[in-house]
Amino acid sequence: MSVQIATGAPDGDRLEHLLERSKAPVQPGAWGIRGRLLVAALAAVVIWGILAWVWQLKHGLAVTGLNDRVSWGFYLTNFVFFIGISHAGTLVSAILRLSHAEWRRPITRLAEMITVVALVVGAGMVVVDMGRPDRLQYVIMYPHLRSPILWDVLSIGTYIAGSLLYLYLPLVPDLAILRDGHVGGRIRQRLYSVLALRWHGGPEQRRLIGRAIGIMAVVIVPVAISVHTVVSWIFGMTLRSGWNSTIFGPYFVVGAIFSGIAGIIVVMAIFRRVYHLEEFITEKHFRYLASLLLVLGLLYAYFTLSEYATVGYKMQVGDASLLSALLTGRYAPYFWTFAILGMVVPIVLLALPRTRTIRWIVTAAVLVNLGMWLKRFVIVIPSMALPLMPYEWGTYRPTWVEWSITAAGFAGFALVFMIFARIFPVISVWEVEEGWEAEDAESFAPVEAPLAAGATILVGEPS
Amino acid sequence: MIGKSDPDAVLRDAQQADAEDVGRRVFLRNAFIAAGAATFGSKTVAFADDLMRGSDEPADDVPQWAMVIDMARCDGCRVCTKACQEAHFTGDQEWIKVFEVTDEAGNIVFLPRPCMQCENAPCLNVCPVGATYRNDNGTILVDHDRCIGCRFCIAACPYGARYFNWGEPENPPGAALARYSPEFPVPHRKGTVDKCMFCAHNAMNGKLPVCASSCPMSAIWFGDLKADIATNGLETVQLSWLLGNRNAFRLKEELGTRPRVWYLPGHGEHSKVVLPE
C-alpha cells in the first residue's frame, strides 16, 4: 500500500517531485469534478447549519432539546470534542519538533492546520450555545476572573493566536516558493508575496525562523495543556456528581491528545489518498503515530478506570445513581460503545502487529474519534440529567436544530480544511528538504541528541 | 443536614460563616498576588483587591435576609408557587418549587425550595461577566442587562434553583408596564437566567416576600440575621430561638454553600430529609 521515499534518487529530483506534489492542490482545477461536488455538499451542510442557527437566534434556545434540567447538550459536547482535536497540532509539530523526531516533517503542516481549524469550530460552538450571543463582548468588557469561563476565554484565545502564529511561521518559506514559482493568478500571487515577508532563504533568515519556531514550539505546549485543563474545569469546578473530580484536568488533557492524534491520522489518510502524497506520507508515519495513539489510549483507559473505580468503590448517593445510569442504565449504550469501540478495540488494533497496517490504523483512529465524541456526550449530559433535588431524571432530546448545527460544525471543519489546502501547501516543503539535508549530513557524523533518543525509545527508530 | 439544638450555635455559625468567607477570599487574594507578583510586579496587589471587591463586607446595620421554612406546617398546597409566579410573571418557572419527599421516619413531607441565597454561592463564583451578584442584604441577584446566557450558573447550582428563558418570555400586559430592575426583574428577557431573589423589591419596602405572605399555613418565616428577628406575618420571634429550638437544618450543608434558608423538620423533632447529592 505504501511507497517508500526513493532514497536512491538525487536530491534535486526528490525536491522537484515534492514541490510538484505539494503544489498540486494549489494548482487551478486541482479539486476536479468530485472535489467540487464535495465542496458544494459541504457548503450546503454549512449553510443549512447557519440557517438553523438563525432560526435559533430568532426563537431562542427553546428550539433545542435543552431545558432547565439538562441545560448543556450537543453544543458543549462539540466544544469539548473540537478543542480536544485541536491538540493534534501541538503534539505533532511542537512535541515531536522539540524531541527531534525527524519523521514528523511531512505531517507538521496538516497537524497545525487541524489545530487552528478545530479551535475556531470549537470556540464557535460556545457562541452558538449562548442565550445572548449579542453580548459576547461582555466577557471582555466585564470580565469576572473568578469564573472558569474567563480562564477558558484567556487560555483558548491565547491558544488560537499562538497556533495561528505557529502555523504561519513555518509557512513563510513555502509561501516564498509559491511566490517565486508564479503559482496562481494575480490575486494569489499578491497574497503569497505579501505573506512571504520577502523571504529569500538566506542564512540569517533561516537562523531567525529556526529560532522563532523553536520558541513557539516551547511556548505552545504549556498553553495547549492549560487549554484542556481549564476546559475540564468548567465541569470540575462544580459540585455535580461525575464532574466533581480532581483528576479532570489531566484526564481531559490526555483525552484531548488521544483524540487529536486520531484526528491527525484520519486527516493524513484522506489527504494522502486524495492528493497522492503516498511518497511522503508513508506507512512509517502511520505506524509511529499508531504507537503514540496506543500509548495515549492506554493512558486514557487508565484515567477512565481511576475516575470510575474511585467513585464506584465508595458509592456516595449521587455518584452511585450516576454510575448505574452510565454502566447499566439509560446511558449504558453510549458509555459502552465508547468504552469498547472507542477504546478497547482501537487499543487492540494498534497493539497487535498484524493490524498495524495503514488500513487498520485508520480504522482505529476513526473509532477513537467517534468514541471520544460519545465520551464527551456521556460526560456532559448524564451529570446534568442526574437529579440534584427530589426530581426524576432530566431528559434531553436534541432537535433538528442541534443536529444541523453539529453537522455544520463537522462539515465546516472539512470545508475550511479543503479551502486552506487549495491555497497553501499541505506539506511543509522546506522542512522536509531540511530533513533530507540533515539526514545526509548525519550519515557522515551520526550524533543523536538526548531528546531524540527519548523519542526513539517512545516511537521507534526514525527513518 | 445537621439539626442544630443550641440557639446560640446557629447564630454563631452564621457569623462564623462570614469569617470563613473572609478567610477564603484572603487565601484567593494572596494566591493571586503570589502568582501575579512573579509576573507583573507590585501592581498585582491593587489588582487583586480590585478582583475580590465583588463581595465586600456590608455595614453592620444592613439587614441580612434569611428564610426559615417550617415543614411541619407546610401542607404542600403550592399557593406560594402560584403567588410567586403571578407576582413576578414567571410563566412556568417555579422560583419556589414544592417537592414531595419522604423523611427518615418514612413520612411524606413537603419541601418548598426557593433560592438558597448561599453565602458561598457557586452560581456567583462561576458567572463570567458578574451578572450574578450579591446585594448588601446578602441576596443573590441577576442583572439581566449583563447576563450572556451561558447557563454556567444553572450547571453550578446544587439546588436546581435557576431557570432559563429559553424562548421569548410571555410577558403579560401588566409585566410590560413594569420598570426593570434586578430587584424586580420584569419584563423577563429571552436568553437570560431567572431565579428567586427573596422578593428584594418587597424587602426594600418593608414587606414580606410573596411566598411568605401568601402562605395559608404561615409556614414561611422571613427575617434578619443581624437583628436576629423573624416573622411569618402573624408572629414575630427571635430568629436564633426559632432555629435552635426546632432542629433547623440547611439543605446539603456538607457542600459548604452556606444557604440563608433553613428548614424546620416536620413530623417529629429529629426527622431529617435525605436529598440526592
User: What tens digit of pLDDT does each residue of B133-177 get?
Assistant: 999 999 999 999 999 999 999 999 999 999 999 999 988 887 888
Q: Across the interface, do B125 and A149 touch by the CB < 8 Å criterion? A: no
Strands in A33-158 per DSSP E: none
DSSP SS3 for B238 = coil
The answer to whether the Cβ–Cβ distance between A68 and B164 falls below 8 Å is yes
Q: Does B1 touch chain A (CB under 8 A)?
A: no
**pLDDT class of A431 with cuts at 50, 70, 90:** confident
Residue range A380-416, pLDDT digits in tens: 999 999 999 998 999 999 999 999 999 999 999 999 9
When pLDDT is cut at 50, 70 and 90, the band that residue A421 belongs to is: confident
A68–B162 CB contact, under 8 Å: yes
Answer whether residue B173 is part of any domain: yes
pLDDT of res. A457: 45
Tell me how far apart the alpha carbons of residues B271 and B276 are, in angstroms, rounded to a whole number.
16
CA dihedral B115, B116, B119, B122 (to 10 degrees): -70
B31 vs A249, higher pLDDT: A249
pLDDT of residue A163: 94
**H or E segment to which residue B221 belongs:** strand B220-224
Q: What is the mean pLDDT of residues A18-40?
A: 77
Q: Is the pTM of this model over 0.90?
A: no
In this structure, of A14-28, A244-258, B182-196, the range with the lowest mean pLDDT score is A14-28
pLDDT at A128 over 60: yes
- Amino acid A151: pLDDT: 97
CA distance B235 to chain A (A): 31
Q: How confident is the model at residue B47 (pLDDT cuts 50, 70, 90)?
A: low
Mean pLDDT computed over B221-232: 96
pLDDT band at A78 (very low <50, low <70, confident <90, very high): very high
In which element (H, E) is residue A268 found? helix A248-274
Instruction: Give chain B positions within 8 Å (CB) of A66.
Output: 166
Inform me whether the C-beta atom of residue A359 falls under 8 Å from chain B C-beta atoms: no
Could you give the CA distance from residue A117 to residue A413 in angstroms, rounded to a whole number?
6
Residue A463 pLDDT more than 60?
Answer: no
Nearest residue in A to B195, CA atom: A68
Pick the residue of A71, A79, A244 with the most B CBs within 10 A to test the interface with B by mutation.
A71
Among A148, A149, A388, the residue with its CB nearest the CB of B276 is: A388
- Across the interface, whether the CB atoms of B129 and A142 are under 8 A apart is answered yes
Instruction: Look over chain A and give the mean of its residue pLDDT values, rounded to a whole number.
Output: 89
| Closest residue in chain B to residue A316, using alpha carbons only | B277
Residue B269 lies inside a defined structural domain of this protein? no
Output the nine-digit C-alpha cell for A243: 464532574
Residues of A in contact with B127 (CB under 8 A): 144, 147
- In sequence order, what are the residues at sequence separation of 6 or more whose Cβ sits closer than 8 angstroms to the Cβ of residue A222? none
Residues 3-62 of B with CB under 8 A from A: 28, 51, 54
Least confident of A144-148, A155-159, A279-283: A279-283
Q: Which residues of B touch A390 (CB under 8 A)?
A: 99-101, 111, 275-276
For residue B128, give the nearest of A59, A149, A390 by CB distance.
Answer: A149
Mean pLDDT over B238-261 rounds to 94
Q: Is the pLDDT of residue A172 over 90?
A: yes
CB-based contact B126 A238, cutoff 8 Å:
yes
Report the percentage of chain B scoring pLDDT > 90.
65
> B residues 93-152 near A, CB within 8 Å?
93, 97, 99-101, 111, 113, 122, 125-130, 146-152
Q: Give the highest mean pLDDT range of A26-35, A57-66, B55-64, B106-115.
A: A57-66
Inter-residue contact A384 to A72 (CB < 8 Å): yes
B160: chain A residues, CB-CB within 8 Å:
68-69, 388-389, 391
Give residue-wise pLDDT tens across range B100-119.
998 777 888 999 999 999 99
pLDDT band at residue A16 under the 50/70/90 scheme: confident
Report, as an integer, the average pLDDT of A248-257. Answer: 96
> Residues 61..90 of B with a Cβ closer than 8 Å to A: which?
none
Confirm or reject contact between B164 and chain A (CB < 8 A).
Answer: yes
With contact defined as beta carbons under 8 Å apart, do A237 and A148 qualify? yes
ipTM of the modeled complex? 0.88
**Per-residue pLDDT, A165:** 94
Average pLDDT over every residue of A137-159: 96
Mean pLDDT value of segment A86-108: 87
Q: Do A388 and B150 touch (CB under 8 A)?
A: no
Interface contact A130, partner B, CB < 8 A: yes
Write out residues 186-215 of B within 8 Å (CB-CB) of A. 190-193
The pLDDT score that the predictor gives to residue B272 is: 57
Nearest CA in chain B to A134: B148
Cα–Cα nearest to B79, from B175, B262, B217: B217
User: Could you tell me if residue B241 is inside a domain?
Assistant: yes
φ, ψ for residue B194 (rounded to 5)? -120, 160
**B274 in any annotated domain:** no
Under 8 Å between Cβ of A294 and A347: yes
CB-based contact (8 Å) between A138 and chain B?
yes
Give mean pLDDT, residues A240-269: 95
What percent of chain A is modeled with pLDDT above 90?
73
The verdict on residue B271 lying in a domain is no
Of A132, A150, A390, the CB nearest to B192: A132
Nearest CA in chain B to A137: B148
Is B277 in Cβ contact with A147 (below 8 Å)?
Answer: no
Instruction: Set out the domains of chain A in order of their start, with CATH numbers.
Output: 31-60+69-434 (1.20.1630.10)
pLDDT band at A450 (very low <50, low <70, confident <90, very high): very low
The alpha carbon of residue B38 is apart from the nearest alpha carbon of chain A, in Å, by 17
Residue from A63, A70, A80, A132 to probe the interface with B (highest B Cβ count within 10 Å): A132
B210, pLDDT greater than 50: yes
- Pairwise CB contact (< 8 Å): B191 & A131: yes
Whole-number pLDDT of residue A253: 96
Q: Does B92 touch chain A (CB under 8 A)?
A: no
DSSP category for residue B184: B
Question: With contacts defined as CB-CB under 8 Å, which chain B residues touch A311?
Answer: none
C-alpha A460/C-alpha A291 separation (Å) is: 8
Can you tell me the mean pLDDT for A437-444?
70
Amino acid making up residue B48:
A
Comparing A90-94, A146-150, B65-69, the range with the smallest average pLDDT is: A90-94
For chain B, where are the alpha helices, taking DSSP H only? 7-40, 43-52, 79-88, 122-126, 152-156, 173-177, 200-204, 210-214, 239-245
**Residue B96, pLDDT score:** 97
Torsion angle, alpha carbons of A274, A107, A39, A128, to 10: 150
The pLDDT, as a whole number, for residue A445 is 44
| pLDDT score, position B18 | 52
The DSSP secondary structure of B86-152, one letter per residue, reads: HHHT-TT--SSEEEEEEBTTS-EEEEEE-----TT-HHHHH-TTS-EEE-TTS-EEE-TTT-----H
Is residue A12 pLDDT above 60, yes or no?
yes
Nearest CA among A361, A299, A288, A366 for reference residue A96: A288
Residue to mutate among B71, B166, B273, with most A CBs inside 10 A, is: B166
Q: Residue B215: which domain range?
A: 7-264
Could you report the per-residue pLDDT of B180-193, keeping only the tens digit for each? Answer: 999 999 999 999 99
Determine the pLDDT at residue A438. Answer: 79
Q: Would you state the pLDDT for residue B236?
A: 95
Q: Which CATH number covers residue B44?
A: 3.30.70.20
B188 and A132 in contact (C-beta within 8 Å)? no
List the beta bridge partners of residue B237. B230
Please identify among residues 302-331 of chain A the ones whose CB lies closer than 8 Å to any CB of chain B: 316-319, 321
A144 interfacial to chain B (CB closer than 8 Å): yes
A15, three cell numbers: 525536491
User: Between A231 and B11, whose confidence is greater?
Assistant: A231
Our count of domains for chain B comes to 1
CA distance A72 to chain B (A): 8
Q: What is the pLDDT of residues A261-282, one digit of tens each?
A: 999 999 999 989 888 888 889 9
pLDDT score at B27: 62
Distance from CA of A391 to the nearest CA of B (A): 8
**Cβ contacts of B122 on chain A, cutoff 8 Å:** 238-239
pLDDT for A455 equals 44
Task: Tell me which of B234 and A459 has the higher pLDDT.
Answer: B234
Q: How confident is the model at residue B17 (pLDDT cuts 50, 70, 90)?
A: low
